[in-house]
Each structure stands twice: as structure tokens, then as C-alpha cells.
Structure 1
Amino acid sequence: MRPTLLPPAPPVVELAVDASGLIAEIEAYLASLPTPTRHPLPYVCPLGRTVQPWYAGHPLPHRTPLDRLARRPARPVPVSAAQHLELTSRYLTAAGWLQGALWDATGRVCLLGAQAAVLAHGYGRPATVQTARVQVMEVLHATGRPVTSPDEYNDRPTTRQADIHRLLEQAALRARSLGL
């Protein structure tokens, strides 16, 4: 058999696009734009401040590798009684307030339900909640509202959500002044 000769390959021609003109045009355009006069700031609603989660300013509870191995929940984030009362007020604002039940189908909660939810989300320990409830009772009795529990005050027909927030704020101030 006779070897066949292939025709020689055509020479490789490199085509280069000269983009220097386009780049120069883009650079000139960008240089013609005015420089920003101030640094960009986060958006703030004209009606108030930006929406934040109820636990803002506190770290989220996170599970350690040992927690995952032991299949247990994350350790609670330590909070003081005053911080627990402030978080309870924020949670009430976020979830909505309710009278006559711990919570309802829409997620609204009463005072006790909000305290339980803050605890269930991993902020504080049961002893912290108990100390906070004692502070609430102290404020109720000191302000001339003798009741057997904060829940009784929560469920009174004359009590409003603003009253609960004011009560929590006063109890948090009292707890902070006592170092709790």
C-alpha cells in the first residue's frame, strides 16, 4: 500500500481584537461621573427606625460540636433579669399581645407566654425568669396594683398592651438598679 500524502495544514492566523479604544472610552466615561459626596448609609425608614429582630443586640444560641454529638439543644445565652424583661417586651411587640391565654393560633402571646418564648428561644435560664417575675411583682405591689401574679394583671379587662410594656420597663429598671 502506498502512503498518501496529506496536503499541508494552512498557517494559523491569530486574530487579536484591539480593545484599547473601548477601554479608553469606558475609563473616560467613569472619570466624567461625579464622585459621591457622602458615604452610603443603611436605609432608615422616614417613619422611624429600621425593623430589627426582637433579639437584636444578643447573640443567637448556637450548638457546639459536643452539643451535636450529644444530640442536645444549644446552651442558653446568659442574660440578666433586666435583659430578660427587655427581651420579653420586644418579643411582645414582635409577636403581638394577648389576654386570657398563653398564646393563640396567630402567634400572639400574653406576658407569661412571652417570657416562656424568650426562654424557649435560648435566652436565660428558668432561674432568670423567676427572678424577673419577682421584679414584676415588686413593681406591681409598689405601684398600688396588688395582684397574686403578673398573669392576673395581664388578663384584667382594664390592662392594655402599653401597660404591660411600661410594667416590664419599670421592672427592668428596678432589676438593673439591684444588679440583677
Structure 2
Amino acid sequence: MPRTDLTPAPSPLAPDGGLVAEIEAYLASLPAPARTPAAHPRPPYVCPLGSTPQPWHAGHPLPRATLLDRVLRRPARPVPVSAADHLRLASRYIGAVGWLQGAMWDGAGRVCLLGAQAAVLAHGYGTPATVRTARVQLMEVLHATGRPAASPDEYNDRPTTRQADVHQLLDRAAARAGRLGL
């Protein structure tokens, strides 16, 4: 039977009552958001995992040039790090700037595995001997896990390798180097 009444049915969303009025009443009952005074800046951003963002080299001192370094115009001595720390720093560096395949770095700053190791070294963490030891650990893990490669860089550039695989490789190699005291 067709409707003969042409007046619209009352909507539960109508502002004169119903759902909208109920939502507005609920929102009005909530406490006002706390205001931070101008003298007190807002606290730093806290990520959902409960820690503040850290620079990739957090936990390690920055390389500092001595007076003699400045007089002789030479770079600061590198911060001594173990091979395990070097591998962890390389993983953090990739996480901070981005990962790349097929080149050491690109214009956006992303790096491959070798580029991350070179960047950690260039920023003053470790020595070339530390990097060599770390690369040996990477090769050991690749062969021990059934992923033989001619170099860690070849593994990085394989089409099937993902960024998570590189982080996992660096983590396993760091754990191995840590167990060996390297």
C-alpha cells in the first residue's frame, strides 16, 4: 500500500533530539583537555611503543676532535666500537635513512648494506679493521643460514631480498660477533 503521508519521518540524527543530542551531551560531560602553559613546552613525542625517537647513533658518544686534531687539521679519532656494535649501528642507520638496492646510496640519502657500513665508518664509529671483521661475520651468517653469496652486497642486491632480511642478517651477525667477543 503506497504512503499517502508526505511528511518526512523524524530522523534519529535530527538536531532537536535523538542521537546528535545524546552525543553532544556526552561530549559536554568529558573533562576539558589540559592546557600546557607557555612557560612549559610540550613533552617530546612518545611513540606507541613507549620510547622517544632516538638518533641512529644513540648510546655511543659523538667523535670529538681534540685541540691537537684541530691544530693539525685532521679528523677526530674514531669512537672505538666492537664489530657487533658496528653491525647494530649499520642496521640503525638503514632504519633512519632508508634502504636501497643496486647502488651504495642515492640522492634521497638511502643506502645499501655496504653504504650503511661506510656511513657508520665515515661518521667516526670504528676503524676499517672493525668493518672487515663485521663483514666476515655477515658472510659467516649468510653461509650458516643456507644463503651463500659472494659478498653481503650481492645478497643485498638480490631481487628476493627485502629490507627486513637485511636487518635480520645484521642482527644475527651482531649476535654472533657479540658471542665471539668481536
The TM-score bracket by the shorter chain reads 0.7 to 0.9
Amino acid at match of 1:149: S
Q: How does 1:48-67 map to 2 (within 5 A)?
A: 48-67=50-69
Aligned to 2:148: 146
CA distance in 1, matches of 2:166, 2:64: 30
| Paired residue secondary structure (1:159) | coil
Structure 1: runs of 5+ lacking an equivalent = 1-40
Q: How does 1:92-103 map to 2 (within 5 A)?
A: 92-103=94-105
Amino acid at match of 2:166: I
Task: Check the 8 A contact 2:88/2:170 in 1, yes or no.
Answer: yes
CA distance in 1, matches of 2:158, 2:120: 23
Counterpart of 1:129 (choices 126, 131, 135) is 131
Aligned to 1:44: 46
Task: Check the 8 A contact 2:137/2:173 in 1, yes or no.
Answer: yes
Rg (Cα) greater in structure: 1
Counterpart of 1:77 (choices 79, 84, 100) is 79
Moved over 6 A (4+): none
Cα gap change, 1:43 to 1:106, in 2 (>3 Å): closer
Question: What is the Cα deviation at residue 69 of structure 1?
Answer: 0.5
Amino acid at match of 1:60: L
1:116 aligns with 2:118: yes
Question: What is the Cα deviation at residue 128 of structure 1?
Answer: 0.1
TM-score by length of 1: 0.76
Amino acid at match of 2:172: Q
CA distance in 2, matches of 1:90, 1:80: 15
Question: What is the Cα deviation at residue 47 of structure 1?
Answer: 5.2
Aligned to 2:164: 162
Aligned to 1:173: 175
Amino acid at match of 1:101: A
Deviations 1:98-154 (A, max 9, x none): 000000000000000000000000000000000000000000000001110000000
Question: What is the Cα deviation at residue 50 of structure 1?
Answer: 1.3
Structure 2: runs of 5+ lacking an equivalent = 1-42
CA distance in 2, matches of 1:144, 1:160: 17
CA distance in 2, matches of 1:46, 1:145: 35
How many pairs are equivalent?
141
Question: What is the Cα deviation at residue 45 of structure 1?
Answer: 2.6
Question: What is the Cα deviation at residue 43 of structure 1?
Answer: 5.2
TM-score by length of 2: 0.75
Cα gap change, 1:43 to 1:96, in 2 (>3 Å): closer
Q: What percentage of aligned pairs have identical amino acids? A: 79
Which stretch shifts more, 107-116 or 46-55?
Answer: 46-55
Task: Check the 8 A contact 2:82/2:126 in 1, yes or no.
Answer: yes
Aligned to 2:91: 89
Aligned to 1:21: none
CA distance in 2, matches of 1:49, 1:99: 30
